[in-house]
Every structure is written in structure tokens, then in C-alpha cells.
Amino acid sequence: MIKKEKKFKWLEEGSKGENVILLHGLMGGVENFGDMVNYISKECKVYGLDLRLFEGIKLNVSVKKLSDYLYSFMNHLNIKQAVLIGNSMGGHIGLIFAKEHPEMVQALILTGSSGLFENSMGDSFPRRGDYNYIKKKTEEVFYDPKVATKELVDRVFKLANNRINLLKLLGYAKSAIRHNMAEDIPNLKMPVSLIWGENDKVTPPHVAEEFHKLLPNSELNWIPLCGHAAMWEHPKKFSDIVLKFLKKYF
């Protein structure tokens, strides 16, 4: 169920349990969480926030501004506390938000999160006009390249061939590098579940291990035969880990 109010657009499912807010990555949207929403909304009140990364023409974009946008969204819906689930840059937004508003974050669930190592976000991707290159880079997000459907590749290709979008992509990538969280993460006291694809090429396993080492109250879960978007490739396994984690604390 997609809702729109004022500047916000979000998916909302479920009617009981903890508030869970989903934060998507740089090249995605709330649809990336797919079937996972069906599983966890049986036990939780789920909000999938559309971060509207490429709307408008303003180029002064940053992960910090996206954290502020999340703060405005929670205030708009009068959500006092929530569990944040972030994939890729969405995890980075969750980390910044947890640093700035720890009283509003019951727990963090990070999958393929940026925040420590950002080379994968800001190297040569995306390359304008080269469909095969875009296809290859999109397939690399997943363990099974077939998950990168033609529809998905076409969407990324269209995004990469819009000049303003491309400038915004580079702006987000540079901002992620500026907002490295290595010094802040040891101060985050809330429970954190790291759910990582064993075959993640974007944020490889050593990134998860570094997060686990730095976060004082974390658990590390691996999903085999899985790439950068665990909640998309293995929604049932991902959801089982999420629900087990939540039952442990709430």
C-alpha cells in the first residue's frame, strides 16, 4: 500500500508489533525489499520510505540530508522509535541517523551497508551510454545474474543517462566518503544485526566483519549464494533472521 502526504511517499504494511522502517540504496527503491515485506509485516508495522533520490534539480545532495529526511518522516507520522533496516546506502543513512538520534532507534539491521568502505560507490559506475557495462555492473549486485532482469537494467541505464541524475549519483558517492562512520560506530549502543551475502561483490565479506568488530552490540549473519541485496535475493531467509533478532530484544 503506497501512501503520499506532503513531501513523503512510502509503502505501509502490517498493523502490529515494532515499527520497522526500510531504507533502500542508491540505485534502488522500496520495491527492492519485495517479498520480504510480506513476511515481516505479519509481525511488524512496516514503512518503506521512498528516499526520492533523483527528484528535483537540486544538486546539493548528501547522506546527511537523507538522514534529516528520515527524521522529518518519523515526526510527520509521529513515530517515536523504530527499527531501521538499511541496504547499501540505506544502511549508511541508518548509521548517521542512529548517531544523531539514538533515542529514536530501537535497533539497526544492516545488509550490504556502506559507511566504512565507499570505493564501490564512487569509482567508474555508472558509465553513460554503455548498456553492456551497465548490465554487467547491475548483474554484479546479485549472486544470480538472472535477478538483474532487463527491466531493472533498463531502469538503471535510463538513470545513468540523465545528466542531472548522474551528477546526483556522484554527489551521493562523494558525500558517503566524507561521512565515513569508523570513529562513530563504536559509540552506537543499540542492538545491530548484520545480514550479509557471502558472495557480495559490492561490499565484500570483510566489510561485514569490520562492522561486526567495531559495533559493540552486534551479531553477524551470513546468507550463502547471495550478493549485495540479501533481502531481495533471499527474502525468506533474510526475514527469518530479522524476526528472530527482533524476538530476542522486543
Q: What is the CATH number of the domain that holds 80?
A: 3.40.50.1820
* 80 domain residue, yes or no: yes
What pLDDT score was predicted for residue 56?
81
What pLDDT score was predicted for residue 119?
56
Q: With bands split at pLDDT 50, 70 and 90, how would you rate the model's confidence at 52?
A: very high
Quote the longest CA-to-CA distance of the chain: 49
Q: How far apart are CA 116 and CA 203, in angstroms?
A: 9
Which H or E element spans position 19?
Answer: strand 19-23
What pLDDT score was predicted for residue 208?
97
What pLDDT score was predicted for residue 231?
96
* 139 domain residue, yes or no: no
* 76 domain residue, yes or no: yes
pLDDT at position 235 over 80: yes
How much of the chain exceeds pLDDT 90, in percent? 75
* 154 domain residue, yes or no: no
User: How many domains does the chain divide into?
Assistant: 1
Three-class DSSP category at 216 = coil
Three-class DSSP category at 18 = coil
Three-class HEC string of 46-79 = EEEECCCCCCCCCCCCCHHHHHHHHHHHHHHCCC
Q: How far apart are CA 116 and CA 92, in angstroms?
A: 9
What pLDDT score was predicted for residue 128?
64
Q: How far apart are CA 134 and CA 96, in angstroms?
A: 29
> What domain range includes position 47?
2-119+180-249
Q: How far apart are CA 102 and CA 76, in angstroms?
A: 18
What pLDDT score was predicted for residue 58?
81
* 174 domain residue, yes or no: no
The predicted-structure confidence for 85-135, as pLDDT tens digits, reads as follows 999 999 999 999 999 999 999 999 999 999 998 654 445 455 667 899 889
* 91 domain residue, yes or no: yes
Mean pLDDT lowest among 58-67, 120-129, 134-143: 120-129
What pLDDT score was predicted for residue 124?
47
* 153 domain residue, yes or no: no
* 56 domain residue, yes or no: yes
Total-model pTM: 0.93
How much of the chain exceeds pLDDT 70, in percent? 96
